[in-house]
Amino acid sequence: MKSINIIPAAIAVLLLTSGAHAAKTDLVLGMQLEPPNLDPTGGAAAAIDEIVYANIFEGLTQFGADGSVNPALAESWEISEDGKRYTFTLQSGVKFHDGSAMDSEDVKFSLDRAGAEDSTNAQKQLFANIESVEVVDAQTVALNLKAADGNMLFNLAWGDAVIVAPETIGTAVTSPVGTGPFKFSNWVQGDQIVIEKNPDYWGEPVKLEKATFKFISEPTAAFAAIMAGDVDAFPVYPAPENLAQLEADPRFSVVLGSTEGETILSTNNKQAPLDDVRVRQAIAHAIDRSAIIDGAMFGYGTPIGSHFAPHNPAYVDLTAKSEYDPQKSKALLKEAGLEDGFTTTLKLPPPAYARRGGEIIASQLREVGINVEISNLEWAQWLEQVFKGKDYGLTIVSHTEPMDIGIYANPEYYFQYDNADFRALIENFNAESDPDKRMTLLKDAQTIIADDYVNGYLFQLAKTGVASSKLKGLWPNSPTQANDLTGVYWED
Amino acid sequence: MIHYLFKRCLILLATLIVASLVVFVTIEVVPGDPASFMLGLNAQPDTVNALRAELGLDQSRLQRYLSWAGGLLKGDFGISYTYRTPVVDMVRDRLGVSLPLAMYALLLSVLIAFPAGVLAASRRGGVGDTAIMGVTQLGLAIPNFWFAMLLVLLFAIKLTWFSAGGFPGWDSGFFVAMKSLTLPAIALALPQASILTRVMRSSLLDVLNEDFMRTARAKGLSKRAALWKHALRNAMIPVLTILGLQFSFLLAGAIIIENVFFLPGLGRLIFQSIASRDLIVVESVVMLLVFAVVLVTFMVDLAYAWVDPRLRGAR
């Protein structure tokens, strides 16, 4: 009797599901790290932007999937002759998620707050050149700059420059209120954050109704979660060793892309004997990049010869300047009076690229007679000892901020690289707004630091994502740390 | 009994005061600054100082200890540096996972260990005893995270009866939440049950050799009746001690299992907070655990007095 009742019910269910033709509209994304809070203007944690950027919060301009800077809350802009005044026309009808209207007062508040004396914005330098923010009318806002600045539109696209409302910024850490196509829904701390479609969005509505970010840090747990179908995609999959297996599985697609992460063997340019350019060059020639990429990164990563991302149009391939040549390395050491080699420290932060890469580099350096003492540090220790205290010889870090070659112009930065020519070049670059000249200057900048062998340039970190093969529209690359879900949808 | 209770309470209080000092000092000497951790590589020095001031990190250590310890007395754990939410709320959410998980695992291990231990002891040297001893040996030898992975492989990936991890929250219903804790509880219970079975067995065997057991048998009680009436109660003291230790361990020590099943428990909270130098969270959670351990020990002491009347007046 029972089975007779079940069959029509089952048929009904089948008909309902197939007849509706509705594609899935919810998504579960796996992330390795949980953000400490959700205020992108008050912390540097990449995980914050990976949730809120372009989804919840928007800026005047915004990065596209290819790294280009596009209009967002600013519909258009005009730049004055001298390059010192930017007038933005805002999109009309933009509302914050609490229903209040977004106008030029909010823009002024956000930018003033980010650049203020007591600001806790992690990228305060982005706003250093803004003299004043002027409210022209409700839909028009003007930025007066201290000096002409070709980077301004780029700077305003950062997650740290998003537009917030004065009434709600105080609670943004736990319940962010932005203007984006998704609004914050719920946060189960330690487990997941849920965002849902904003029905009143000013722009093109998103296709997803709901997205859940689930935090899974263990590589094996990540593997289990994707295999069991608990998670639909990992934009950055934490276990490259499983990628081949996942690629062979028709349920999944593996997405390889690039990031802004230049992974470098950072060198203390003020510590003897590393203050000698010949010694730094010797280190550069002792390193076999392909062995590191294969050994530490399972083959994912692009060799770099300077501090610049290969997918950027201004990139020049300078890897030949530091090709693997242990004989040359030994000769250089001899020239520097160190034919018996020397000993230095290699302090490694927690990521796998550093820990695994560090072991390989140590053995490669030993081949030419350089003895390194490895110590493994946690991030907080690393920041204290290496970054702040500059108490290190060598370290391995991936610098993930987009277009950050400007850090070489700061002699106080932990590399302690001090080159007046380079500083002048970056100053020119910042002031220049002609795209062709900017391109030339960027190429020169890459060459200078490659010739000075400031750091050992290893590889550009790859973005290795795994997603259900029916999921479309995730960004393959990360021009900034973001999971922009505005174009994501499920294929029927 | 009152005297016994009073003395225990005093010890409890003294332990807590000493612990708060030790915890604060040890955690403060660890190098690393929460503000620079939060602001990352591009932060300007004045930004870091502004944040330090905002977090109250520019005060002296003594000031911070006093305001923290004073807050603890009032039940105020402070505000997390990185999460910027009250520590009490964070801990409550995490306890909502860790406490039920620990109790679930403990319950499972008791349900396995008691019958198994009694059976092994009463059939000493028999097939049952040998089999139980063999299995517990295995249970002790297998690392529980590995056992957990096997459970995930079989029940989550192959059979898809359970999800591979995560915790949907108690809002999603009691059974849904308990279901998500089932695999982790089994993984945690396996080694605990093995230890408990062995302790139960050996403790029972010791008691069975006592003179009073011979007397009980001599007055005509069957072997089984003597075991249930006289031996079991006397064998409980070591078992209770182990149970108390196990509960404290399960509450905070489940971190590896929490990682395998990506559960938002207390262990992971401590781990994350240490990494981000969220000192106030670490201090408060460690204090809470100290309190829990002290409380469990206290309760075990009371339970001793309950099973062994001699302890009530003597000390």
> What does the pLDDT look like over A53-86, one tens digit per residue?
999 999 999 999 888 899 999 999 999 999 899 9
The C-alpha atoms of residue A175 and residue B286 are separated, in whole angstroms, by: 28
Residues A128 and A197 in one domain: yes
Distance (Å, whole) CA A288 – CA A301: 13
* B275 at interface of A, judged by CB pairs closer than 8 A: yes
- Give domain status of residue B304, yes or no: yes
Per residue in A365-391, pLDDT tens?
999 999 999 999 988 889 889 998 999
Residue B44: give the domain boundaries: 17-73
Chain B contact for A70, CB < 8 A?
A: no
Kindly list the residues from chain A whose CB atom is less than 8 angstroms away from the CB atom of residue B274: 378
Phi, psi of A252 (to 5 degrees): -125, 155
Do the domain assignments include residue B55? yes
Asked if B36 and A228 come within 8 Å (Cβ–Cβ), the reply is no
Cα–Cα distance for residue pair A315/A310, rounded to 1 Å: 5
pLDDT band at A348; cut points 50, 70, 90? very high
Task: Give CA separation, B58 vs B51, B61, B82, in Å.
Answer: 10, 9, 16
Neighbouring C-beta atoms of residue A237, cutoff 10 Å:
24
Residues in chain A: 492
Alpha-carbon span B315 to B307, nearest angstrom? 15
Q: Same structural domain for residues A147 and A245?
A: yes
Q: Within this chain, do residues A198 and A296 fall inside the same structural domain, yes or no?
A: no
**Are B177 and B50 within one domain?**
no
pLDDT for position B2? 77
User: Of A15, A155, A24, which Cα lies nearest the Cα of A471?
Assistant: A24
Kindly report, residue by residue over A110-128, the tens digit of the pLDDT: 999 999 988 888 898 899 9
CA–CA gap between residue A165 and residue A129 (Å, rounded): 23
- pLDDT band at B62; cut points 50, 70, 90: confident
pLDDT surpassing 70 at residue B283: yes
In a domain, B284, yes or no: yes
Question: pLDDT at residue B256 above 90?
Answer: no
Q: At what angle do helices A352-367 and A289-297 cross, to 10 degrees?
A: 140
Q: Are residues B219 and B147 in the same domain?
A: yes
State phi, psi for A84 to the nearest 5 degrees. -105, 0
**Residue A372 and residue A392 in one domain:** yes
CB proximity under 8 Å: A 398-437 to B: 399, 401, 404, 407
Q: What share of chain A is helix, strand, coil (3-state, %, to 5)?
A: 35, 25, 40
Whether cis (ω within 30° of 0) applies to the bond prior to A176 is: no
In the predicted model, what is the mean pLDDT of residues B109-129?
90
Instruction: Judge whether A19 lies within some domain.
Output: no
Task: With respect to residue A10, please indicate whether it lies within any of the assigned structural domains.
Answer: no
Q: What is the pLDDT of residues A140-169, one digit of tens each?
A: 999 999 998 888 999 999 999 999 999 999
- Which pLDDT does position A22 carry in this prediction? 64
Q: Backbone dihedral region of B32: left (phi > 0), alpha (psi from -120 to 50 degrees) or beta?
A: left
Structure token digits, residue B260? 């395998």
pLDDT at A6 over 50: no
- What is the token pair recorded at B100? 């039920």
Find chain A residues with C-beta within 8 A of B149's C-beta: 220, 224
State whether A182 and A327 are in the same domain: no
CB pairs under 8 A between A and B: 155
- Contact indicator for A400, A461 with CB cutoff of 8 Å: yes
A348 and A443 in a single domain? The answer is yes
Reported ipTM: 0.77
Same domain, B205 and B67: no
pLDDT digits 0-9 by tens, B11-23: 888 888 898 889 8
Least confident among A402-411, B74-83, B109-118, B146-155: B74-83
On whether both A124 and A239 belong to a single domain, the answer is yes
Assess B210–A contact: CB distance below 8 Å, yes or no. no
Q: Are A462 and A234 in contact (CB under 8 A)?
A: no
How much of chain A exceeds pLDDT 70, in percent? 96
Domain membership of residue B224 (yes or no) is: yes
Structural domain contains residue A445: yes
Expressed as residue numbers, the domain containing A193 is 24-251+469-492
Judge whether B36 is closer than 8 Å to chain A, CB to CB. Answer: yes
Do B60 and B132 reside in the same domain of the chain? no
d(CA A283, CA A326): 9
Pair A22, A492: CB distance under 8 Å: no
Average pLDDT, chain A: 90
Of the candidates A78, A60, A57, the one whose C-alpha atom is nearest the C-alpha of residue A157 is A60
- pLDDT at residue B262 greater than cutoff 50: yes
d(CA B265, CA A3): 43
Q: Are residues A207 and A301 in the same domain?
A: no
The position carrying tokens 């487990």 is A191
Q: Note whether residue B1 is domain-resident.
A: no
> At residue B173, does pLDDT exceed 90?
no
With a CB cutoff of 8 Å and minimum separation 6, the contacts of A450 are: A305, A306, A318, A321, A322, A457
Label residue A10 by pLDDT band (50, 70, 90): very low
Assigned domain for A15 exists? no
Is residue B263 within 8 A of residue A217, CB to CB? The reply is no
Over residues B238-262, the mean pLDDT reads 85
pLDDT (mean) for A19-27: 72
How far is the CA of A290 from the CAs of A302, A306, A350, A360, A361, in angstroms? 9, 16, 22, 11, 11
Per-residue DSSP letters for A170-197?
A: GGTTTS---SSSEEEEEEETTTEEEEEE
Q: Are residues B102 and B60 in the same domain?
A: no
In a domain, A7, yes or no: no
Residue B288 domain flag? yes
A240 shares its domain with A284: no
pLDDT at residue number A306: 95
What pLDDT was estimated at residue B1?
A: 67
Q: What was the pLDDT predicted at A11? A: 45
With bands split at pLDDT 50, 70 and 90, how would you rate the model's confidence at B45? confident
CATH classification of the domain holding A291: 3.10.105.10
User: Nearest-CA distance from A93 to chain B in Å?
Assistant: 32
In a domain, A216, yes or no: yes
Task: Specify whether the CB–CB gap between A436 and A263 falls below 8 A.
Answer: no
Tell me which residues of chain A, numbers 217 to 246, contact chain B at a CB-CB cutoff of 8 Å: 217-218, 220-221, 224-225, 227-230
Interface test with A, best of B41, B51, B89, B256 (most A CBs within 10 A): B41
CATH number of the domain bearing residue B304: 1.10.3720.10
> Cβ atoms within 10 A of the Cβ of A131, count?
13
Report chain B residues whose CB lies below 8 A from the CB of A190.
93-94, 97, 263-265, 268-269
Element holding B255 (H helix, E strand): helix B255-260
**What total of structural domains would you count in chain B?**
2
Instruction: Determine phi and psi for A40, rounding to 5 degrees.
Output: -70, -15
Indicate if A206 and A270 belong to the same structural domain.
no
- The side-by-side arrangement of strands in the sheet containing A130-137 is A74-79, A85-90, A140-145, A130-137
Rounded Cα distance, B281 and B272, in Å: 10
Same domain, B268 and B168: yes
- Do residue B82 and residue A36 have CB atoms under 8 angstroms apart? yes
Contact A26, A209 (CB under 8 A): yes
pLDDT category of residue B46 using cuts at 50, 70 and 90? confident
Pair B168, B304 in one domain: yes
Strand partners for A471: A490
**What confidence category does residue A456 fall into, taking pLDDT thresholds of 50, 70 and 90?**
very high
Predicted confidence band of residue A129 (pLDDT cuts 50, 70, 90): very high
- Answer whether residue B78 is part of any domain: no
Confidence of residue A15 (pLDDT cuts 50, 70, 90): very low
Say yes or no to pLDDT of A255 above 70. Answer: yes
| Contact: B33, A123; criterion CB under 8 Å | no
Share of chain A above pLDDT 90, in %: 71
Q: Are A472 and A236 in contact (CB under 8 A)?
A: no
Same domain, B301 and B154: yes
In this prediction, residue A21 carries a pLDDT of 52
Burial environment of residue A424 by CB neighbours within 10 A (0 to 12, 13 to 18, 19 or more):
exposed
Same domain as A193, residue A291: no
**Cα–Cα distance measured from residue A246 to residue A243, given in angstroms and rounded to the nearest whole number:** 5
Say what the pLDDT of residue A4 is. 43
Q: How many domains does chain A have?
A: 2
Model confidence at B189: pLDDT above 90:
yes
Q: Which two tokens stand for residue B106?
A: 């403990």
- B256: which chain A residues are within 8 Å (Cβ-Cβ)? none
Closest CA to A352 of A462, A256, A455, A267: A462
Query: Do residues A378 and A352 make contact, with C-beta atoms less than 8 angstroms apart?
Result: no
Distances (CA, A) of A358 to A177, A241, A287, A464, B315: 42, 18, 11, 21, 59
Averaged over B35-58, what is the pLDDT?
Answer: 82
Q: Where residue A490 sits, what CATH number does that domain have?
A: 3.40.190.10
Give A193-224 pLDDT, tens digit per residue: 999 999 999 999 999 999 999 999 888 889 98
Residue B81 counted as domain residue: no
| Domain contains A341 | yes
B141 plus B279 within the same structural domain: yes
B146 lies in the same domain as B59: no
A302 neighbors A459 (Cβ within 8 angstroms): yes
> Which string of DSSP letters, residue by residue, matches A195-242?
EEE-TT-SSSPPS-SEEEEEE---HHHHHHHHHTTS-SEESS-S-GGG
Task: List, in sequence order, every beta strand (DSSP E) within B11-133.
Answer: none
- For residues A228 and A298, membership in a common domain is answered with no
Residue B192 sits in the same domain as residue B289: yes
Position A9 confidence tier, pLDDT thresholds 50, 70, 90: very low
CB distance A162 to A74 below 8 Å: no
Has residue A275 been placed in a domain?
yes
Of A120, A173, A217, the CB nearest to B51: A120
Q: Encoding tokens for residue A76?
A: 């258009």
**Residue in B289, B290, B277 with CA at minimum distance from that of residue B83:** B277
Residues 119-158 of B with CB under 8 A from A: 149, 152-153, 156-157
Q: Do B167 and B104 belong to one domain?
A: yes
Q: Does residue A288 register a pLDDT over 50?
A: yes
Q: Which residue shows structure tokens 């030790």?
A: B22
